[in-house]
């Protein structure tokens, strides 16, 4: 069985990295993600990773704080997660570079598109940290933007939920589970799987999205092999 994609953007939510504890980093989760990325790396699939920061801080949930300040704090949270992922990847022999949208040259490279693409072509995993570098944009938008920039074949959206639902399946057991959607349907139905900025960016640039649960082992591999798990949006 051959991988369906040559270059992918793997978007991991910050909450997924926290595992069951909902806050901070779960080393078992980091290790599980690292093993799956290593398997892709060995197949010759070029992997770029975008990670959220919700296990430490979410800009949009702050009530009294200035939104731009809260968003910058969220971007810094993604850098913590990116360094943790880099460490987990390199511990099992996966060459990895972190590139940040906000310059902090002591800890990571600045984001430079051509350098990122050069790394990927040498089968080095690139982790894009600090979001887009701008407040008011989510890390889902970062994934869409970077996928367009590096000409990725697909965005693999690894979430805590196992697919796209019409409503929160935890609070509403009657929520409808979708196996296939179009970008337009995601926007029209107001599905909360990613924000409208990210969804419309994917629609405008014809970037397919595969949404699946990260908690199942080997789901990332299954998605790359084109297996029918979760929800495909195209």
CATH number at residue 226: 3.40.1160.10
Average pLDDT of 121-129? 98
Work out the mean pLDDT of the chain and round it to a whole number: 95
Is residue 85 a contact partner of residue 33, using CB atoms and an 8 Å limit? Answer: yes
Q: Say if residue 206's pLDDT is above 90.
A: yes
**2, part of any domain:** no
DSSP single-letter state for residue 42: H
pLDDT of residue 182: 96
pLDDT tens, residue by residue, 150-196: 999 999 999 888 999 999 888 998 999 999 999 999 999 999 889 99
Q: Say if residue 56's pLDDT is above 80.
A: yes
Q: Is the dihedral of CA 108, 111, 114, 118 positive or negative?
A: positive
**1, part of any domain:** no
Q: Count structural domains, the chain.
A: 1
Q: Is the dihedral of CA 117, 119, 124, 127 positive or negative?
A: negative
pLDDT of residue 110: 98
Instruction: Express as a percent the part of the chain with pLDDT over 70.
Output: 100
d(CA 206, CA 13): 22
| Residues spanned by the domain of 140 | 7-233
Could you tell me the pLDDT band of residue 201, with boundaries at 50, 70 and 90?
Answer: very high
**23, part of any domain:** yes
Average pLDDT of 29-33? 95
Place of tokens 């051509």: 114
**188, part of any domain:** yes
Q: Where are the beta strands (DSSP E) in the chain?
A: 7-12, 46-51, 96-100, 109-110, 125-129, 154-159, 164-165, 177-178, 180-181, 209-213, 231-233
List of residues 6+ apart from 9 with CB closer than 8 A: 48, 49, 50, 143, 146, 147, 150, 152, 154, 155, 156
């Amino acid at each position: 069985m051959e991988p369906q994609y040559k270059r992918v953007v793997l978007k991991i939510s910050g909450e997924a990295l926290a595992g069951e504890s909902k806050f901070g980093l779960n080393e078992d989760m980091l290790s599980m993600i690292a093993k799956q990325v290593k398997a892709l790396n060995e197949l010759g699939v070029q992997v770029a990773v975008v990670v959220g920061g919700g296990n430490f801080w979410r800009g949009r949930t702050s009530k009294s704080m200035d939104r731009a300040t809260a968003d910058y704090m969220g971007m810094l949270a993604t850098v913590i997660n990116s360094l943790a992922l880099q460490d987990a990847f390199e511990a099992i022999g996966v060459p990895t570079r972190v590139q940040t949208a906000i310059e902090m040259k002591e800890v990571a490279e600045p984001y430079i598109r051509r350098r990122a693409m050069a790394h990927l072509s040498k089968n080095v995993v690139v982790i894009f940290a600090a979001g887009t570098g701008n407040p008011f944009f989510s890390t889902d938008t970062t994934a869409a933007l970077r996928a367009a920039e590096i000409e990725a074949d697909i965005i693999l959206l690894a979430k805590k939920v196992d697919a796209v639902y019409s409503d929160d399946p935890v609070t509403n057991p009657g929520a409808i589970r979708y196996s296939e959607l179009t970008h337009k349907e995601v926007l029209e139905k107001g599905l909360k799987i990613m924000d409208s900025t990210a969804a419309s960016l994917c629609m405008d640039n014809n970037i397919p999205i595969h949404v699946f649960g990260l908690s199942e082992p080997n789901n990332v591999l299954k998605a790359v092999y084109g297996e029918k798990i979760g929800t495909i949006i195209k």
